[in-house]
Amino acid sequence: MTTEHQHHHHHHEEETRETSKYEQMFQKYNMHLHDELVQEAAKIILSEKVKENNTEAIKKLIFSCLEITSLKVTDNEESILKLTEKINRFADENLDFPHPAAICIYPRFASVAGSSLEVDNMAVTCVCGGFPSSQTFPEVKTVETALALKDGATEVDMVMSVGYFLSGDYEQVSDEIDEIKAICGEETNLKVILETGALQTATNIKKAALMAMYSGADFIKTSTGKVEPGATPAAVYTMCKAIKEYHEETGRKTGIKIAGGIRTVDDAIKYYTIVKETLGEEWLTPNWLRFGASSLANSILSDIKGEKVTYF
């Protein structure tokens, strides 16, 4: 046997032993999910419960969970400054209305957003780690995160390494999340985007959700908004069930962020309803529930005021 072959063999054994801790973790949860049944369960919740949540109070609550998002290739300092000024003005002029939870932007705007945002308790969320594909070197991901935090980011959204996940390299997936969480520290929310549209099956979505939570995610998030489909009721339902089971198993609470294609008030209320019915009242605050959207703020304001508002 050549030394090269021995080395390879040894490496393989190590790998099997390593991945088993993730497999062991998965074994604690129900992993036999049938996509049709999951879709059906989400549908039943929506058909029975949405109506009761169509109230002004809940629309305001959803607004308070909003992350006003600008992730365009055309963004520049000026456009982000304009956006933060709008948010500041909105908060000043609407004292009876909640302010959004966060502004969500690319890392190079952390300093302009952080220094110009004047709303108390509003987070500066930066997408880090080679967003939206996550296909860069782990070293680049950690450096990008550290620079964003140094510049004023107070929350980090990263994309799980979906390619590694789908090929079963859970070690790599977990290590990256773990390292980025270590840079964020306890005080800074790390939201891990699963990119549910690329995962396709409910079983994959649940596995990815558990992987993210196991590796230190404070929130799990549906989508980048750059891959179709974005959020779906079935995906959100599956993520909520994973959060609930993980909480029951470990005592750790994880938030959920719903993003990707949420434009209408009806969409938002649907997802709110799924979270309420699966996770309960405790999760219905900006501390545990977020919506990532760019046009939803205007939709909610238009709906409440009864006229077209294009403020943001």
Which residues are known catalytic residues? 157, 221, 257
Q: Pull the structure tokens for residue 47.
A: 């058909």
Q: What is the 3-state secondary structure (H, E, C) of the chain?
A: CCHHHHHHHHHHHHHHHHHHHHHHHHHCCCCCCCHHHHHHHHHHHHHHHCHHHCCHHHHHHHHHCEEEECCCCCCCHHHHHHHHHHHHHHHHHCCCCCCCCEEEECHHHHHHHHHHCCCCCCEEEEEECCCCCCCCCHHHHHHHHHHHHHCCCCEEEEECCHHHHHCCCHHHHHHHHHHHHHHHCCCCEEEEECCHHHHCCHHHHHHHHHHHHHCCCCEEECCCCCCCCCCCHHHHHHHHHHHHHHHHHHCCCCEEEEECCCCCHHHHHHHHHHHHHHHCHHHCCCCCEEEEECCHHHHHHHHHHCCCCCCC
Beta bridge partners of 189: 155
